[in-house]
Amino acid sequence: MNQCTALALLPPPDRLIALSPPGHRPETAHVLCELATGHDDHHAALLWDEGGHPGSAVWVRWRGSGLARLTPLPWCPARHPRNAANEACELFSAHPSAHSWDITDPTHTAITHHLTRQHPHLFPQSGDHENDGSRS
């Protein structure tokens, strides 16, 4: 399942703008939704893990082209059922789409494929799949 491609502009907080030196205004950032395509509800992107509050992180949530809001949310408790490393889902609890291990970022996949073809010595684990379109 592919990752949602919705994005939002996240302007810098007013306090940060007020503290910035003249002529060095912080730039507006883009955030990309990390949920799977076809999800309902709001889009979501992780901003940072709250190390001081175990089990939670700060996410930006938005709907359509509306205003984005910052929201602290607990991590999804799900563990990958077929992964020996007991990989945890990298999304928030009760997220409205597939778990992170079932979501593919199509941009990352395309870039990795291109780099593998251009620099195969950097990707020895990929083998010779250049002609069949498959990935390792």
Q: Is 49 in the same domain as 71?
A: yes
pTM for the structure as a whole: 0.73
Does 117 fall in a domain? yes
Give whole-number Cα distances, 92 to 62, 88, 115, 131, in Å: 15, 11, 31, 38
Residue 1 domain flag: no
26 and 54 housed in the same domain: yes
Residue 126 inside a domain? The answer is yes
Q: Rounded CA gap, 43 and 88, in Å?
A: 20
54 pLDDT band, cuts 50/70/90, is low
How many structural domains are present in the chain?
Answer: 2
Same domain, 27 and 62: yes
Report the Cα 93 to chain-centroid distance in Å. Answer: 15
The Cα 17–Cα 8 span in angstroms is: 19
3-state secondary structure of 14: helix
In 3D space, the residue among 34, 38, 55 whose CA is nearest the CA of residue 46 turns out to be 34
Are 95 and 112 in a shared domain? no
- Do 109 and 42 sit in the same domain of this protein? no
56 and 82 both lie in a single domain = yes
Chain mean pLDDT for the chain: 84
Predicted pLDDT of residue 103: 95
With a cut of 70, say whether residue 130 has pLDDT above it: no
Calpha distance 29→12 (Å, rounded): 8
Split at pLDDT 50, 70, 90, the class of 135 is very low
Domain range spanning residue 122? 105-136
pLDDT at 127: 56
